[in-house]
Amino acid sequence: METVSEILAARLQTAFDRVAPGADPVLRPSERADFQANGALALARALGRAPRDLAQEICAHLDLAGVAEVELAGAGFLNVTLSAGFLDERLRALAGDARLGVRPADPVRTVVIDYSAPNVAKEMHVGHLRSTVIGDALARVERLVGNRVIARNHVGDWGTPFGMLIEHLIDQGEDAGSAELAVGDLTAFYQDARAAFDADEAFRERSRARVVALQAGDPETRRLWRLLVDQSVAYFSEVYARLGVTLRSEDIRGESSYNDDLAGVVADLDALGLLVDSDGARCVFPPGFANRDGEPLPLIVQKRDGGFGYAATDLAAVRDRVTRLGADTMLYVVGTPQAQHFSMVFAVARLAGWLPDAVRCEHVAFGNVLGADHKMLKTRSGGTVKLIDLLDEAIARADQALVERGATGDEASRRALAEQIARAAIKYADLSTERQRDYVFDLERMVAFEGDTGPYLQYAHTRVRSILRRAGATTVAPPARFALDEPAERALGRALLDWPDALAATRASAQPHRLCGYLFSLAQAFTAFYEACAVLGAPEPVRTQRLALCDLTARTLAQGLDTLGIEAPERM
């Protein structure tokens, strides 16, 4: 099915093309009508014509028969109001469509999403939470349209710190060390290693020698390294399971997994004549990148000591994803501070011919999570806030809210529900802010059942489900016609038709907050409808029609929440 805005855009484009080929109709949702097309204004300016006359001329070419009525307003806006017959036809199609109007991708694309990417033997912090939650939502969005999604968890499992981490593991004893890591005491482990490194020259010496042994593939060193990696990965997996994200251990491709490709990256860049020696380091200077003093910026591919860094690994990963995985789209869900790193890596990959123009490659950047003091979120002692602690606190609050609301039933099921609500609270708060912006981590607001929150949307869904239960309808019969005589009823019908467009806008911008905004307005449209219109007590055929609207609302909310990685319980 074409979406409503696609149908309108196509018809408007035809009319605009008759007057000025290729002119943009500038179609937008509108408060006054359903949509507004403002393109005549800019076009009139460009052509030096009177805007209203031009708009009139466009209208004369516009064929919206059976779809909408158009009204010429103000300086030359076109107000577009969908016709009753069109709404009826579309809603009937929607009611019978298990995909709720979402068209399957054709052709199917391969979308590689790099997300989560915590570091071995280091605590997962709220930045990793953002990457995990946003990346997982984008993965679900792409899967919903039928694309082939390949998740890549680019875990930090290589580099100089591993010398010191392995020596610390040896000093502590393998059993004690791995026990600490397995329970997620990663911060303490890392900090103790760091402290030993800073305090003790002999430890520093051992650490340096250990890095060399690690890189040379010394079996005992590799075994100890594996231990660190495995314990950390076990802990990450537990966090993912508790957060309800779809990342699996098969998705892990740590930095180390590209080791064998790094020498080839350097050799190939060299053969292409892109490598420049700078203070002994081997660099590429992609055009267009300069530091504050206007000097060209290098992307360091191989360090002076011969070691490869973060950039070399990412270049190898680009090649792997394009060549071996056949990526059509690559999304990197990583914090804003790495923006320059990624634009340079992508620029170098394009220069080298490893990243064809046809491949969409995007850094999906995000801002910080702040504490109540509007500074970076930290524990009281200034340490990294553990993700799992945040989740536990959210669960406790959700549980308390359920008790206050007089929840019945056994404790285990209440607890399970509290976990669903807590996950919704944390994920929705993260996803509903425009990702480039910072947000304040405020559990009380996040867990609230009112306002623009995850629990509110879950609750809205349970209310619709309860109406359907009371109707005794396991499957809702499609009505012969959606008349939508009441304004609130029409508004709900309109909102339901917007779901595929909301999804398309989310995909195009990689902005999950658009999906959140859509679901919130759908829930509000439902509330307004339910206040204004009787459902169960309405006479036929209105009752059947309104039950069908309820059913569509419940299905859309459930589908939408699922796409954000949020569960939609039946009762709350």
What token pair was written down for 184?
């997620």
Give the DSSP H or E segment for 203: helix 201-216
Q: What's the closest the beta carbon of residue 130 comes to ligand ARG, in angstroms?
A: 11
Q: How far is the CB of 332 from ligand ARG (least distance, A)?
A: 6
CB of 312 or CB of 334, closer to ligand ARG: 334
Residue 347: CB minimum distance to ligand ARG, A: 15
| Residue 278 phi, psi dihedral angles, 5° rounding | -135, 110
> Which C-beta is closer to ligand ARG: that of 314 or that of 489?
314
Q: Which helix (H) or strand (E) holds 79?
A: strand 77-82
DSSP class of residue 323 equals: I
Least distance between ligand ARG and beta carbon 232 (Å): 12
84-98 b/e (C-beta count within 10 Å ≥ 16 → b): eebbbebbbebbeee
Residue 114 or 430 with smaller CB distance to ligand ARG: 114
Least spacing, CB of residue 154 vs ligand ARG, in Å:
4
Q: How near is the Cβ of 333 to ligand ARG at its closest, in Å? A: 8
Of the pair 131, 432, the CB lying nearest ligand ARG is at 131
Cβ nearer to ligand ARG, comparing 34 with 314: 314
Nearest to 562 by CA among 467, 423, 415: 423
Compute CA distances 565 → 73, 190, 341, 495, 559, whole Å.
Answer: 42, 31, 29, 21, 10
Quick count: other Cβ atoms within 10 Å of Cβ 99?
14
What residues line the site for ligand ARG (CB under 6 A)?
A: 114, 117, 119, 154, 156, 314, 317, 332, 334
Return the amino acid letter for 241.
A
Segment (H or E) for 114: strand 110-114
- Of 393, 367, 335, 336, give the one whose Cα is nearest residue 118: 335
Q: Least distance (Å) from ligand ARG to the CB of residue 121?
A: 12
Gap between the Cα atoms of 495 and 526, Å rounded: 9
**Sequential DSSP letters for 21-45:** TT----EEE-SSSSEEE-HHHHHHH
* Rounded-to-integer distance, Cα 431 and Cα 562, Å: 13
CA distance 130 to 368: 9
Whose Cβ is closer to ligand ARG: residue 68's or residue 352's? Answer: 352
Q: Shortest Cβ distance from residue 484 to ligand ARG (Å)? A: 48
Q: 172 or 246, CB closer to ligand ARG?
A: 246
Q: DSSP class of residue 70?
A: E
Minimum distance of ligand ARG from residue 314's CB (angstroms): 5
- For ligand ARG, the closer CB: 90 or 125: 125
Specify the amino acid at residue 449. F
Q: Which is nearer to ligand ARG, 132 or 432 (CB)?
A: 132
